[in-house]
Structure 1
Amino acid sequence: MTAISSSEGYAPFRDYRTWYRITGSLSSDRLPLVVAHGGPGCTHDYVDAFKDIAALDGRAVIHYDQLGNGNSTRLPDKGPDFWTVELFLDELDNLLNHLGIQDRYAYLGQSWGGMLGSEHAVRRPAGLKAFVIANSPANMRTWVAEANRLRRELPDDVQATLLRHEEAGTITDPDYIAASRVFYDRHVCRVTPWPEEVARTFAIMDEDNTVYRNMNGPTEFHVIGTLKDWTIEDRLHRIAAPTLLISGRHDEATPLVVKPYVDNVPGCRWVVFENSSHMPHVEEKALCLSTVSDFLKQFD
């Protein structure tokens, strides 16, 4: 694959700054693609693969670390009242304006990034020309119910370990973390060992899990943070941008979790990756990237 140039920078945001990287050139006539990571509280690293779309079709691909994460300003002392959906919507608008692409762009959000993107898209921003929702819930209660259904399919000893530590409040115990990993290896990333960029995101989160802890909770199936009652199901009909939904056959974002997008977003197209869980962009990378690229080309 041809090497593509990249550049990094910071967008001032309130009293902080948002780190971003542009792969390719913003002067291309292709729609620039903004890629938003999940979590909330992950980093751009695990969705790094999407930068290769720049080499596939010549569009600029913009990654960024959301406030509190990765290379952006870390705020470990901020509590739940600070970390809101509105904060991250404002940050996204600020980044679009900083880059000068607010009038014409595509957006891909993975997991929480797709939730954030949906909150953005229901406002019908004029510049959003194409929208990709990757492995995202539309209702956190459904997400938790399905995660716990999948959890009940884990080996009995793993389930017992998880429950014991949750009841005791010892969720940082190595045994609890190891038991959680059994779920993650089935339903988050099935590539073993995890690709370096995926492992890097989780290592950074181990250092500073402020955002994830406040908004989500300790694990994917023990959601006790501020997003626990979040839903966008009743607003999805407002989305006007052409929309592609992707998910994996073994995804923690099960068909029940993602179906509201299919049912309620006008014209939403849904592609399921048969050999993937929550990260088709690394589990079936070539097919995933070409699927996204082919979708975006329709709107260049």
Structure 2
Amino acid sequence: MTIPTTEAEVDFAPPGAGKPCKTWYTIFGNLKSGTRPLVCLHGGPGVPHDYLLPIRNLWTTHGIPVIMYDQLGCGNSTHIKEKLGDGGFWTVSLFLSELENLLSQLGIQDDYDLLGQSWGGMLGAEHAIRQPKGLHKLVIADSPASMVLWVEAADKLREGLPKDVQQTLLKHERDGTTDSKEYEVAMHVYYDRHVCRVKPWPEEFEKANQLLEEDNTVFMTMNGPSEFFVTGTLKTWSVIDEVHKIIAPTLLINGKYDEAQDSVMEPFYKSIKNVKWEHFPESSHLPQLEEPERFLEVVGKYLKSE
């Protein structure tokens, strides 16, 4: 079945950008179908939407229109490489403003669902904490409630890697040579276990990584050299003390081998009043690629339920 697709851009004018900016988005399905749309927030920060593309099939399986967009600084949206390292520009508030701008420009700000994956789930939680009137349901997939918990979980997972891989990672992190080929190879051992267990990596994930390599401005500024070596502005980020403010019904998702271990998602489960948690036994960090059929079934059923 061919999914009707619309691609376009909206203007976005963040303070301090120094140039006109645009947010690129694509709509899968029909916003006039009468079914509430799902807006997807990709991870990274700075890893474009491509690896989320299997979620577009919710239009085919459940008739749900799906909106994906590339956040500022990556993918098809405006790039601002000159802002590398500018933590005062690349902020959570910036990306919240971008999301609100997109919702308004599309005219769906009064009725929408939201799915955030990894960093996108962090952003989705921040959005939901503000209790926007139009947010109906929230899906937080593979996301931490605290980056301190995220790093603690990553450190434990790293202990399960081969000793030589552990030593290589530590050496380059200590020496400040995380841009070396040797570090990249060692890093991929972790990624193969805890980010995407499908071999070879799916085309959608490969493309997202390729685009990240071409411009890692946002990722390096806010996160750091790798998924598990966090040195950026998000290093101390946490919403543990605020997640109780989320009133939208919320679905939590993570995989058995996920770098988003149960410990990093548990604060969501403990503090959100109306919450459900689904585990994916064959997945790590990307269940939409690792168990795609079940992912669509679980998310679609949740969004369509009353």
Query: If the length of structure 2 is used for normalisation, what is the TM-score?
Result: 0.96
Q: Quote the offset at 1:248 in angstroms.
A: 0.2
Q: Deviations over 1:178-218 (max 9, x none)?
A: 00000000000000110001000101111110000000000
Residues 83-138 of structure 1: CA deviation (Å, up to 9, x unaligned) = 00000000000000010000000000000000000000011101000100000000
Asked whether the 8 Å contact 1:29–1:59 carries over to 2, the reply is no
User: Which residue among 213, 217, 229 is the counterpart of 2:224?
Assistant: 217
Partner of 1:162: 169
The corresponding residue for 2:185 is 178
Identity of counterpart residues, as a percentage? 51
1:53 paired to 2:52 = no
- Structure 1 residue aligned with 2:272, among 249, 265, 275? 265
Q: How many residues align?
A: 298
* Residue of structure 2 in register with 1:284 after alignment: 291
The amino acid that maps onto 1:40 is P
Does residue 293 of structure 1 match 2:292? no
Q: Please, which moves more after superposition, 98-107 or 161-170?
A: 161-170
Match of 1:105 among 112, 125, 134: 112
Q: Residue in 2 aligned with 1:148?
A: 155
Partner of 1:33 in structure 2?
Answer: 38
Alignment match, 1:75: 80
What are the Cα deviations for residues 224-252 of structure 1, in whole angstroms up to 9, with x where unaligned? 10000000011111111111000000000
CA distance in 2, matches of 1:164, 1:233: 32
1:84 aligns with 2:91: yes
Give the C-alpha shift of residue 3 in structure 1.
1.3
**Conserved 8 A contact 2:196-2:284:** yes
CA offsets, 1:143-167, max 9 Å, x none?
Answer: 0011011011100000111111111
Alignment of 1:243-258 (within 5 A): 243-258=250-265
1:9 aligns with 2:31: no
Q: Offset at 1:58?
A: 1.2
Equivalent residue letter for 2:2: A
Equivalent position amino acid for 2:189 in 1: V
After TM superposition, what 4+ stretches of structure 1 lie above 6 angstroms from structure 2?
A: none
Instruction: State the secondary structure of the residue aligned to 1:186.
Output: helix
Does the 8 Å contact 1:33/1:62 carry over to 2? yes
- 1:281 Cα offset (Å): 0.3
Q: Which runs of 5+ in 2 are unaligned?
A: 14-19
Structure 1 residue corresponding to 2:136, chosen from 129, 135, 149: 129
CA RMSD of aligned residues (A): 0.7
- SS of corresponding position for 2:242: helix
Aligned mates of 2:257, 2:3 — CA distance in 1:
33
Residue 149 of structure 1 aligns with an amino acid whose one-letter code is K
What one-letter code is carried by the residue in structure 1 that aligns with 2:74? N
Partner residue of 2:100 out of 78, 93, 103: 93
Residues 242-281 of structure 1 deviation map (CA, whole Å, 9 limit, x = unaligned): 1100000000000101101110111210000000000000
Measure the CA separation in 2 of the matches of 1:71 and 1:162. Answer: 32
| Structure-1-length-normalised TM-score | 0.98
Is 1:45–1:200's contact at 8 Å kept on the other side of the alignment? yes
The residue that corresponds to 2:49 in the other structure is: 44
Q: Distance in 2 between matches of 1:154 and 1:217?
A: 20
- 2:247–2:274 contact (8 Å) kept in structure 1: no
What does residue 228 of structure 1 align with? Answer: 235
Give yes or no for contact 2:138–2:248 (8 Å, CA) kept in 1: yes
Which one-letter code corresponds to 1:191 in the other structure? V
1:48-105 CA-partner distances (Å, limit 9, x unpaired) = 1100001111121000000001000000111221100000000000000010000000
Matched residue of 2:27: which SS?
strand
TM superposition shift of 1:176: 0.4
CA positional deviation for 1:28? 1.3
